Amino acid sequence: MKNWWWKILCILLLSYVFIFGLISEVPALNILNESIRNLFFHVPLWFAMTFLLIAAAVYSVKYLLNEKIEFDNIANAYIETAVLFGVLGFLTGMQWAKATWGGWLPPDIKIIGASISLIFYFAYMILRRAIEQENKRARIAAVYNIIACTLMIMFIYVLPRVNGADSLHPGNGGNPGFSTYDLDSDLRMIFYPSVIGWILFSLWLANIKIRFNKLQRKFLIKKMNQ
């Protein structure tokens, strides 16, 4: 049970978010209206993606310092899971943009930065598959990952917050954040559990991928030794 408590917590939190996030009353905000419910899904998905990508960069640093292949395995699994959450975050963001801004992909600096960041990580996955030697692949992937993570933070979290930047997102481009608009106590009661729940779920999926990669590596080594 001690190894399952966080998974049970994840299920409880996300169940709570899906139920009350869809049926609870939300403030009648101008333009946003009922689309504010996407706050419980779109934003936490990006938080979960960012959490995994930063964690992956930490494990890439640990690999470069220790050259233990399990660190490379963890970093790779975190990135592949983070890309999935990034794509889901992008799709939910497109739905929200269509409902509030009138277009699927408006010319917003944060959307552009997110697109570039995802392309970096798609390239990371292609790069890994192009290098056969395990240690060489792990070293190159680790260096690439650290650079990609740094650029991701710049493109998504730093540049859009510059006052001169043109952004529609709250808290970016000189715009006030959600708390200034009307992130009232009822929304917070769902939003914060949603962030925790999606991060836990992302870790759950990443751990499954880590175990799968370990089994796959053992199978390949056994096959090579036969």
What global pTM score does this model have? Answer: 0.87
Residue 164 has pLDDT above 60, yes or no: no
Residue 20's pLDDT band (cuts 50, 70, 90): confident
Residue 216's pLDDT band (cuts 50, 70, 90): confident
Average pLDDT estimate for 8-27: 87
Nearest CA to 191 among 88, 38, 5, 74?
A: 38
Residue 100's pLDDT band (cuts 50, 70, 90): confident
Average pLDDT estimate for 25-39: 69
Residue 179's pLDDT band (cuts 50, 70, 90): low
**Rounded to a whole number, what is the distance in angstroms from the first to the last CA of the chain?**
39
Check residue 177 and give its pLDDT. 53
- 182-196: per-residue pLDDT in tens? 456 678 888 999 999
Q: Where do the structural domains in the chain lie, given as residue ranges?
A: 42-225
Distance CA 199, CA 11 (A): 12
Check residue 188 and give its pLDDT. 85
pLDDT > 90: percent of the chain:
52
Check residue 28 and give its pLDDT. 63
Q: Which residue has the higher pLDDT, 4 or 26?
A: 4
69 residue type, one letter:
I
- 118-144: per-residue pLDDT in tens? 999 999 999 999 998 989 999 999 999
Distance CA 144, CA 121 (A): 9
Residue 199's pLDDT band (cuts 50, 70, 90): very high
Q: Which residue has the higher pLDDT, 35 or 91?
A: 91
Nearest CA to 156 among 70, 5, 46, 6?
A: 46
Residue 175's pLDDT band (cuts 50, 70, 90): very low
CA torsion, points 41, 35, 114, 179, in degrees to nearest 10?
A: -80
Tokens linked to 97: 């943009």
Residue 185, φ and ψ in degrees, nearest 5: -65, -35
Nearest CA to 53 among 88, 26, 97, 86?
A: 86
Q: Which residues contact 153 (CB under 8 A, 6 or more apart)?
A: 50, 54
Distance CA 42, CA 203 (A): 17
- 36-83: per-residue pLDDT in tens? 788 889 999 999 999 999 999 999 999 999 989 999 999 999 999 999
Tokens linked to 144: 């690439």
Which ranges constitute the DSSP H helices of the chain?
5-23, 42-66, 69-100, 109-130, 134-153, 178-181, 185-225
Residue 168 has pLDDT above 60, yes or no: no
Tokens linked to 202: 């992302």
Radius of gyration of the chain (CA): 19
Contact indicator for 141, 127 with CB cutoff of 8 Å = yes
Residue 109 has pLDDT above 90, yes or no: no
Number of C-beta neighbours around residue 3 at 10 A: 6
